[in-house]
Structure 1
Amino acid sequence: MLPESVYKHTPRPRPITVPKLHHATFMTLDVEPMVAWYELVCGLQPVYYAEHAAWLTNDEANHRIALLRLPGTKVPVDKPHTAGLHHTAFEYATVDQWLDNYSRLRDAGILPAMCLHHGMTMSMYYVDPDGNGVEIQVDVFGDWSCSTEYMWASREFSEDQVGPHFDPEKLLVARENGHDADTIQKDTYAGKYAPDSGDKDVRFPDVWPTRLEENPSLAVTEAPVTV
């Protein structure tokens, strides 16, 4: 039997000097559609672009997302059920900005795979061309110290870290009817804007069967580089 984790009951040990998260890097089989998708969805633009790699940013950092097409990269098999990175996340400052972004992406033909109110955030989860999850969220407290306290101490979060699903179209209607952001988020957590139907799974769909059907050449990888 494995020993009980030190993280279960004690304060988390931290390094004396704390580094900040800078970027995430993805291996991909096709750089171009990934660059285009992240620019449309998250406003990430390439600082440097090549057919085999790209480095993207949407703020003052030199890059926040890196994309690498390494020789020998293979097509994922059953990606939604494979251990690894589940998603990256981007945050809007207000509910209005967050809902406006949903409308913008919807009109561009990009819809979330699932929408969840986690208690401290309302989150819409999208799927990039390679099947990686991307969360677009808004902090319902508008204050990270408050949302951190909610995660740390609330009974609600200890009992349910996923939270209720919601239909973003119903949130748009509520806003059009004059409901303010705080009322919308509370009603969402109470289940008022639940989807009328649909799968309640929290795994992303597998995009690869369709991608390979549309473009079989993606399965033909280059030989690995040997030294």
Structure 2
Amino acid sequence: MASIIRPKTFAHVVYRTYRFQEMLDWYVKVFGGKIQYQNPVIAFVTYDEEHHRVALLNLAIVKGESQARTPRGQPGMDHVAYGYRSLRELLDKYLELKAIGVLPYWCIHHGITVSLYYADPDGNQMEFQTDSYTSNEDANAFMYGPGFAENPIGVEFDPDEMLERLRRGESEASLLLRTQHLPVSEIRGSMQS
């Protein structure tokens, strides 16, 4: 039996809230955190060298706008994230799960990570991700840059197409960098309304 690919890290947790600023203030205060990025819809907080450990989604803005993607629309945990060592390993995990009939419901290149989102039988959501940058300093610089401010959610991608590009010899490094000319994710557009 082949060995199962396991995550390298537990990366972050995302919460949905109607008390966006109150929650943000609480996580900064309780964890001695630092706000990495904030707009009216989403905020990212870290308490160590990682680009983010906690993210908050403002339900006062996104509720009703993203019901198809997040039907629960209630305050609480949105998802937890697990980190993989490389893009190749993340895509190998995708193939491993696909072979047993487990498919992601959303594949998105966030810019700081390339991510596959899955849901368990109860609907609990999880993000399997690999970092796009080799250092946290570079990831943080991306989060402070104009590309992230323009599109903090990311662009959707097809994991099978990405695998094919790797097989044809395209480097992981080139696939990990999100270029600004890519289209904004559909969910991002709905959150701008």
Is TM > 0.5 for Structure 1 vs Structure 2?
A: yes
Are 2:148 and 1:157 equivalent residues in the alignment? yes
Equivalent-residue separation in structure 1 for 2:128 and 2:77 (angstroms): 16
Larger radius of gyration: 1
* Unmatched segments (≥5 aa) in structure 1: 21-77, 203-227
- Per-residue deviation, 1:182: 1.2
Query: What RMSD in Å do the two structures reach over aligned CA positions?
Result: 3.6
Report the TM-score, using the length of structure 2 for normalisation.
0.58
Q: Which has the higher contact order (CA 8 A, sep 6+)?
A: 2
Q: 1:132 to 1:189 in 2, by over 3 A?
A: farther
Which whole-Å CA distance do the structure 1 matches of 2:120 and 2:87 have between them?
23
Runs of 5+ consecutive residues of structure 2 not aligned to the other structure: 1-20, 33-45, 49-69, 189-193
**3-state SS in 2 of match to 1:161:** coil
How many residues are paired up? Answer: 133
Change in CA separation of 1:15 and 1:179 when aligned onto 2, cut-off 3 Å = closer
The one of 168, 184, 193 equivalent to 1:177 is: 168
Displacement over 4 Å in runs of 4+: 5-8, 12-16, 187-190
Tell whether the 8 Å contact from 2:111 to 2:177 is kept in structure 1 after alignment.
no
Q: How does 1:2-151 map to 2 (within 5 A)?
A: 79-151=71-143
Partner AA of 1:173 in structure 2: E
Q: What TM-score do the two structures reach when normalised by structure 1?
A: 0.50
Cα deviation, residue 142, structure 1: 2.3
8 Å CA contact 1:117–1:188 kept in 2: the answer is no
Identity %: 28
Separation in 2, partners of 1:171, 1:201: 21
